[in-house]
């Protein structure tokens, strides 16, 4: 591994990630254009490409940064209910999550699919471990299946809830999503 980048480089790279993440959430995948991100970050396109050579490299970096934040949020928790509530809180909202947007793009992009799968494997492992701690009779295979179902509920629900109910009743619907996810995690 080479030397660490200078602090200024790391700071500027982090600032670009913040701008790019917000651009992705505000503009969606179609508006996630390198030139627009460079403009919003107050830099030339060539300077942006110094930090992230391609759009896919930038999307991958956003996904991984989001994962670090989410994993930090839930990894210290020891209860299934607390982790589910934290994840639902992170995914609930009228704005699609970074995971949802990058996940949709990953369906047709090997680089993003690899990153998406790596990120989710860590989350599945954490949730699986909590499920097994809650119920020691659950096999690792069963716990993994439950963790995938829990995350499918949590990640897929916000889009469906906001499309079908609107923001006014979305909070109540996401409470039901959390209850369903807890039931899946704890089912016998």
pTM (2 d.p.):
0.80
The two tokens of residue 28 are 């969606």
Query: Residue 174: what pLDDT?
Result: 78
pLDDT (tens digit, 9 = 90+) per residue, 109-118?
999 999 999 9
- Which SS3 state, helix, strand or coil, does residue 188 take? coil
Question: Is 1.10.10 the CATH number for 1-53?
Answer: yes
Query: Residue 139: what pLDDT?
Result: 94
Single out the residue of 138, 156, 46 nearest to residue 100, CA to CA: 156
Residue 82 has pLDDT above 80, yes or no: yes
What would the CATH number be for the domain defined by 64-186? 1.10.357
Tell me whether domains 1-53 and 64-186 share a fold.
no
Quote the CA–CA distance of 100 and 26 in Å, as a whole number: 14
Residue 96 has pLDDT above 70, yes or no: no
Whether the CB-CB separation of 84 and 181 falls below 8 Å is answered with yes
For residue 40, name the pLDDT band (cuts at 50, 70, 90): very high
The two tokens of residue 143 are 């716990």
Stretch 135-148: mean pLDDT, rounded? 93
For residue 57, name the pLDDT band (cuts at 50, 70, 90): very high
pLDDT (tens digit, 9 = 90+) per residue, 126-136?
889 989 988 99
Query: Residue 39: what pLDDT?
Result: 97
Q: How far is CA 131 from the centre of its chain?
A: 21
Query: Residue 95: what pLDDT?
Result: 55
Quote the CA–CA distance of 168 and 2 in Å, as a whole number: 51
Distances (CA, A) of 103 to 5, 45, 92, 138: 29, 25, 16, 29
Query: Residue 83: what pLDDT?
Result: 85
Domain ranges of the chain: 1-53, 64-186
């Amino acid at each position: 591994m080479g030397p660490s980048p200078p602090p200024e480089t790391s700071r500027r790279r982090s600032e670009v990630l913040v701008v790019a993440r917000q651009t992705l959430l505000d503009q969606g995948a179609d508006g996630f254009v390198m030139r627009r991100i460079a403009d919003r970050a107050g830099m030339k396109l060539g300077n942006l490409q110094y930090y992230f050579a391609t759009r896919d490299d930038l999307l991958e970096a956003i996904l991984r940064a989001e994962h670090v934040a989410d994993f930090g949020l839930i990894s210290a928790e020891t209860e299934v209910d607390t982790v589910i509530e934290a994840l639902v809180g992170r995914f609930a909202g009228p704005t699609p999550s970074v995971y949802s947007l990058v996940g949709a793009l990953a369906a047709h992009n090997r680089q993003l699919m690899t990153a998406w799968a790596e990120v989710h494997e860590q989350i599945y492992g954490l949730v699986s471990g909590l499920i097994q701690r809650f119920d020691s009779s659950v096999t690792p295979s069963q716990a993994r299946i439950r963790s995938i179902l829990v995350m499918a509920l949590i990640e897929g629900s916000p889009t469906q809830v906001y499309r079908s109910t609107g923001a006014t009743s979305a909070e109540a619907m996401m409470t039901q999503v959390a209850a369903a996810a807890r039931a899946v995690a704890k089912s016998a």
